[in-house]
Amino acid sequence: MSLDGNVLAGALADIFSFEITAAQVTCAGCGTQAPAASWVVFAEAPGMVARCRTCERVQLRLVSDGRGRTWVDLSGVARLEVGETR
């Protein structure tokens, strides 16, 4: 089942000092700019995988080992814009 980027808020609150779901993200694949909340998220894999809603390119992969260590792959993200929204 797929969710959206809103569901990542809790898992990513420990990693970023800003609120990720409201961040504007530019996809490295198609250049679409959209809030992270719009990502297509698969949360039932061993980790979480988030894809661009426009081109399906993987934006973020997050895996935790359950003992306090976490790996984050953001290679599909070209740019993050954080702060006050317009």
Interface with other proteins by CB under 8 A: which residues? 1-7, 9-11, 13-14, 17-19, 21-23, 35-38, 82-86
In the bound state with other proteins, the residue whose beta carbon lies nearer, of 22 and 78, is 22
Closest CB 41 distance from other proteins, rounded Å:
9
In the bound state with other proteins, the residue whose beta carbon lies nearer, of 61 and 64, is 64
In the bound state with other proteins, the residue whose beta carbon lies nearer, of 5 and 76, is 5
d(CA 75, CA 64): 18
> Scanning the structure block, which residue is given the tokens 């976490």?
70
Where is 13: in which H helix or E strand?
Answer: helix 9-13
- Give Rg (Cα) of the chain: 12
Closest CB 81 distance from other proteins, rounded Å:
10
Beta bridge partners of 62: 48, 72
